[in-house]
């Protein structure tokens, strides 16, 4: 049996068991050299489990077909990379990047592999994303831009943090708790799926200070360059099309630009933007 088929078999066995999904995700990181890299991914996976987005279709409260599909792509790529025999051909570029990570674990190789799998899932499942309500699509876009930004923190610090990038790289290191500042969305968005009884303006008004400074002060002013960085680094040119005029638009026309642009930024936002202005 090929590594690709073996991975598909293992994924099929856990597809409708959220606890088994979590255990399978963690098994990849049992090797000593990989163990500390589990923090960021498993923290995000716990958030997905708590929201209920990975629940099977037959559950009392079914999960999201989109979130399930993207999570499945990530799991499958990791499992295939783990069981790939020497000389056997990987089924995708993302699997090749996971193999590279297993051979030389580092923040840079982990992000390339992880984000390549995530972006591949995004590209493959846009139709499923379009079925989600607008607020969920906003969350999907924020989830991606945060992951891409965390990668840039360690691999392109000048892009991510400007002149202070060299001393802030550790913030994105997946081995440290600080990565939760970027990958943990529990402080920003509704904690149950599907999203009900909240409008986009209400969500924006309820956003806390730190997420607001991060998204609007640091990340949004450099979105086009950030997505171009991801397209090049991940060998996924299609991801560059997920932003138009500095507005994320994955599975969603960039019509609600007010969610991403603040016409009259306050002093704190202006200071953050000035300090972190990208170095080209």
Q: Does 191 reside within a domain?
A: yes
Letter string b/e over residues 123-158, b meaning 16 or more CB atoms within 10 A of that residue's CB: bebeebbeebeebbbbbbbbbbbbbbbbbbbbbbbe
**Domain range enclosing 180:** 3-275
pLDDT tens, residue by residue, 108-149? 999 999 999 999 999 999 999 999 998 899 899 999 999 999
pTM: 0.95
Q: Does 280 reside within a domain?
A: no
Q: What pLDDT score does 256 carry?
A: 62
Kindly indicate the confidence band of residue 251, based on its pLDDT and cuts at 50, 70 and 90.
Answer: very high
Q: Evaluate whether 145 touches 219 at the Cβ level (below 8 Å).
A: yes
Backbone angle region of 235, left / alpha / beta, with phi > 0 → left and psi within -120 to 50 → alpha: left
| Mean pLDDT in residue range 233-252 | 94
Q: Does 22 reside within a domain?
A: yes
pLDDT tens, residue by residue, 154-191? 999 999 999 999 999 999 999 998 877 777 776 667 88
What is the count of structural domains for the chain?
1
């Amino acid at each position: 049996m090929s590594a690709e088929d073996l991975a598909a078999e293992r994924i099929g066995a856990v597809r409708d068991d959220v606890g088994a999904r979590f255990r399978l995700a963690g098994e990849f990181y049992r090797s000593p050299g990989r163990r500390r890299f589990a923090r960021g991914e498993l923290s995000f996976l716990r958030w997905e489990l708590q929201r209920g987005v990975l629940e099977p279709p037959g559950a009392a409260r079914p999960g999201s077909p989109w979130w399930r599909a993207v999570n499945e792509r990530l799991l499958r790529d990791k499992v295939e990379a783990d069981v790939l025999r020497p000389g056997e051909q990987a089924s995708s570029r993302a699997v090749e990047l996971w193999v590279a990570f297993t051979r030389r674990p580092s923040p840079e190789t982990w992000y390339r592999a992880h984000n390549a799998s995530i972006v591949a899932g995004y590209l493959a499942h846009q139709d499923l994303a379009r079925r989600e309500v607008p607020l969920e699509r906003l969350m999907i876009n924020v989830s991606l831009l945060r992951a891409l930004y965390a990668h840039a923190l360690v691999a392109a610090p000048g892009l991510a943090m400007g002149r202070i990038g060299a001393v802030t790289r550790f913030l994105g290191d997946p081995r440290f708790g600080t990565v939760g500042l970027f990958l943990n969305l529990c402080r920003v968005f509704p904690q149950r799926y599907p999203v009900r009884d909240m409008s986009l303006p209400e969500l924006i008004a309820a956003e806390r200070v730190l997420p607001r400074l991060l998204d609007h002060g640091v990340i949004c002013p450099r979105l086009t360059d950030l997505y171009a960085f991801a397209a090049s680094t991940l060998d996924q040119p299609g991801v560059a099309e997920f932003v138009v005029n500095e507005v994320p638009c994955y599975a969603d026309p960039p019509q609600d630009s007010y969610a991403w642009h603040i016409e009259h930024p306050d002093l704190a936002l202006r200071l953050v933007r000035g300090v972190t202005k990208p170095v080209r």
